[in-house]
Chains A and B, each alone.
Chain A
Amino acid sequence: MTASPLLSAFRSSLSEAWASGAGLLLPLGFFAGTATMVPFTLGSEAELLSRVGPGILWLALALSSMVTLERVFQADLQDGALDLWLQDSGSISLIAAIKTLTHWLVSGFPLVLLTPLIGFMLGVPSEKMIPAMLGYAMGGLVFFLWGGVAAALSASVSRAGLLIALIALPLYVPALIFGVQMVENGLDSPSFLFLAACTLFALGVAPAAMGAALRLAAE
């Protein structure tokens, strides 16, 4: 199998993710906006904000993965791109993985870039910044991968938003717990290794599940 179907999948989903808003501005605005809401909901006590703020951003990350992924495979199913992939190339799993990873890159990864700024805003101690950035990056990968499985399973359902959330949320639990702990305890804590294991596991299992689900949706 050549790289060209993969490359084209990457390009098409990049433009899809890009065109759905004003490029990177949309996810950046989403996360910055969420962070701005935090003091309004919790009050402006500095100690509380620095403790709770990163946790709320985890929720924002989980949310953004589900909102983004709602239509990620639906469009391909409707315009026949899915059938083409199934004919052209052996590995629909790889294409599905590339699609979700691209969406992660556009909609999840910006949080990592924003973390120093948001962290500064919420008064998160500076030594927690690096763990938080790493945590959001790896945890976001897990979210988007399992969310991709949920989206692939419900690709032929027309209003799948809540369904995707219900299916994916239980699968988010481990990454959420390990991620939050890692920010709390730093990089030399076992939580870091556990989160890394979760990410690798999702990278190994989720593409296969997505492939099986998409093959089914195309029938």
Chain B
Amino acid sequence: MPDYADDAIYVWSITIIGIVLPVLMIGYSLLRVHLSKARLERLQQEEDQA
């Protein structure tokens, strides 16, 4: 690990936020796709049964 001295906390916190926030957004999109797809499949199944 490099030593950024006084700047370390700034550099690392910015970098970590820059990773965490996109990861959260990816998680959100994945969740949305998953939920809407599951709903569609459930509806299709119900229709097939009917």
Q: Do the two chains touch directly in the complex (Cβ atoms below 8 Å apart)?
A: no
